[in-house]
Amino acid sequence: MSLVNVTDLTVEFGSLRAVDGLSFRLEQGAALALVGESGSGKSTVASALLGLHRGTGARVGGAVEVAGVDVREVSDEGLRRLRGKKAAMVFQDPLSSLDPYYAIGDQIAEVYRVHTRASRRAARARAVEVLDRVGIPDAPRRSRSRPHEFSGGMRQRALIAMALACGPDLLIADEPTTALDVTVQAQILDLLHTLREETGMGLLLVTHDVGVAAESVDQVLVMRHGRAVEHGSVTAVLGSPAQPYTRELLGAVPRVDAPRAVSAVAESLVEGAAERPAEASVEASVEKPAEVPAKALAKVSAKVSVKDRAEPVLEATGLRREFGRGKRAFTAVDDVSLKIHRGETLGVVGESGSGKTTLGRMLVGLLEPTAGEVRDDGHARVGVNPAVQMVFQDPVSSLNPRRSVGESIADPLRARGESDEGRIRGRVRELLERVGLEAAHYDRYPHEFSGGQRQRVGIARALAADPRVIVCDEPVSALDVTTQAQVVALLGELQRELGLALVFVAHDLAVVRQVSDRVAVMRRGRIVEEGPADEVYDNPRDPYTEQLLAAVPALDPRIAAQRRSARRELATA
């Protein structure tokens, strides 16, 4: 009997059919990835396996059987027994899944007690045991920590520990590595693989990252608009995709091992000339998302003179930033110097906690350096600088949910003294259209937009101040590969037409390679390596850079397995 047996599953929300006639099986000990763009129905399917749509108003049809339990027909009590004991779920955002007021160990112990009726002492011991099992160091002590005291990777490990507490037959992981840097992502994927080997549990992995699927599973099911597009072994689907959509999805994945197009910035500095590339519209990028827009960000407008490209538009010298005082003082950025030229893209990469975001906020003026200075066009700047704007990682938290997107975009215009409401509204409409949205979207609210559309709103708001430099802080980390490609292409088009300089802060090394002229690698607040993008990627000088590159997911399952074995040997050496 299959561990999971789904037959002709449909899930409808009002008039929207999110899942349309989906069927698949998962055997005990096997691993299946549901892969597709945002809105393809992946997470809806995962929720249906645990009966999470019950009582929500959603209409569920077809048959869903998990560990011998008919999920649609079982009683509420039977459904509670299924969840945790036979099947458990790890959600995308651990902060929203963990109670901020209670210690991690107490939360795991409570889950164990609910399902097993164990004593408090036994539940506490089990919590420490599973935390140790998922690699939390000093588990007895750290089990008393609250979620905010854990890093992102440790919080995800804690969620996995909670899911494992009752020894389930099936683990459902819904985008478990989306917000994690490459090394932590590799650790989580290695952990899931090891747990599956040792416990024999089945794994259903929901992801928009094809590379993550290649690292983790035996079978891949590609979804689009709620339907199965392609289903087969990971080697067959990723190595020789039969369907055009699967090929497009793979084509949109940026490759860390692929050389990028020669930058017009580099050409102009060396040769003194550059040809203007053919125009590529936002509409074209939306219609053909599979075209990875390396050239779009690699080339800039010929209107930018050679002299302008040679002179830095933004310069940081000896930047240092400390948080806290006395013994609790922590240095987030330590003696960082860099130059950004007009029309170029500087990529900044590193693990979480390396100081990337802190550096970006100092460049914009949102944080004041403890030491050092930022110079804009040759002049020292203190405080927020209108010429340097920021596109934030999470547009949901950076946009006021109670104000229309048009009003949020208008803020920089009003801040610089514009008072004519007609002109403000006209300019905002222009910006909305410029980033591929509609002028009529002015009065809509953030929740009415998709993730990619909200990121376009953030870009429009940054453009409202007419900046020379835009600092992009993880602008595509939470987006699927095709939406990611669209946003990157938009940034490239804007850069090409306006001569903007971009600072692209990200933990995704593949994206950074494709968009950057130069790359700076950060570790523990310092830049350990800097140079032309292809040089840094093809011939890294620092061991830390080599370590980051080795952790990037490989699209070839055989290479992924080799890398996993190498990491395991290194960890046990």
Same domain as 79, residue 224: yes
Question: Last residue of some domain: 199, 225, 251?
Answer: 251
Q: Which amino acid is at 173?
A: A
Q: Determine the pLDDT at residue 20.
A: 94
Q: Is residue 430 part of a domain?
A: no
**493 and 378 within one domain:** yes
What confidence tens digit (pLDDT) does each residue in 236-261 have? 998 899 999 998 888 888 777 776 65
Tell me how crowded residue 282 is: count the other CB atoms within 10 A of its CB: 18
Give the DSSP letter of residue 54: T
* Same domain flag for 356 and 289: yes
The range of the structural domain enclosing residue 308 comes to 264-387+467-542
pLDDT band, very low/low/confident/very high, at 308 (cuts 50, 70, 90): low
Same domain, 281 and 355: yes
Tell me, what's the pLDDT at 571?
Answer: 63
The neighbour count for residue 283, using CB atoms within 10 Å, is 9
Same-domain pairing of 316 and 206: no
Q: With beta carbons less than 8 A apart as the criterion, state whether 359 and 348 touch.
A: yes
Same domain, 355 and 239: no
Q: Is residue 111 part of a domain?
A: no
Q: Are residues 307 and 380 in the same domain?
A: yes
The pLDDT assigned to 520 comes to: 95
Structural domain ending residue among the three candidates 251, 279, 295 = 251
* pTM as predicted: 0.76
Asked whether residue 406 is assigned to any structural domain, the reply reads: no
Q: Which residues pair with 330 in a beta bridge?
A: 323
Contact 220, 234 (CB under 8 A): yes
- Taken in order 166, 167, 172, 175, the sign of the CA dihedral is positive
Position 295 confidence tier, pLDDT thresholds 50, 70, 90: very low
Closest to 112 (Cα-Cα) out of 102, 121, 103, 99: 121
Position 249 scores a pLDDT of 86
Mean pLDDT to the nearest integer, 531-551: 91
Is residue 557 predicted with pLDDT exceeding 80?
no
Domain boundary among 218, 251, 284: 251
Q: Is residue 31 part of a domain?
A: yes
Residue 154 covered by a domain: no
Question: Domain containing 337 — which CATH number?
Answer: 3.40.50.300
Sign of the four-CA dihedral 82, 155, 43, 291: negative
Shared domain check, 288 and 179: no
Q: What is the reported pLDDT for 299? A: 41
The verdict on 32 and 69 lying in the same domain is yes
CB-CB contact of 13 with 2 (8 Å) = no
Residue 277 falls inside a structural domain? yes
Alpha helix (H) ranges present in 134-181?
139-142, 152-164
453 located within any domain = no
Do β-strands 379-381 and 526-532 pair in parallel, antiparallel, or remain unpaired? unpaired
Tokens standing for 361?
């906020």
Residues 529 and 382 in one domain: yes
- Do 303 and 176 lie in one domain? The reply is no
Give dist(CA 115, CA 96) in Å, integer: 22
Do residues 520 and 346 touch, judged by C-beta distance below 8 A?
yes
Residues 288 and 366 in one domain: yes
> Is the residue at 565 inside a domain?
no
**Count: domains in the chain:** 2
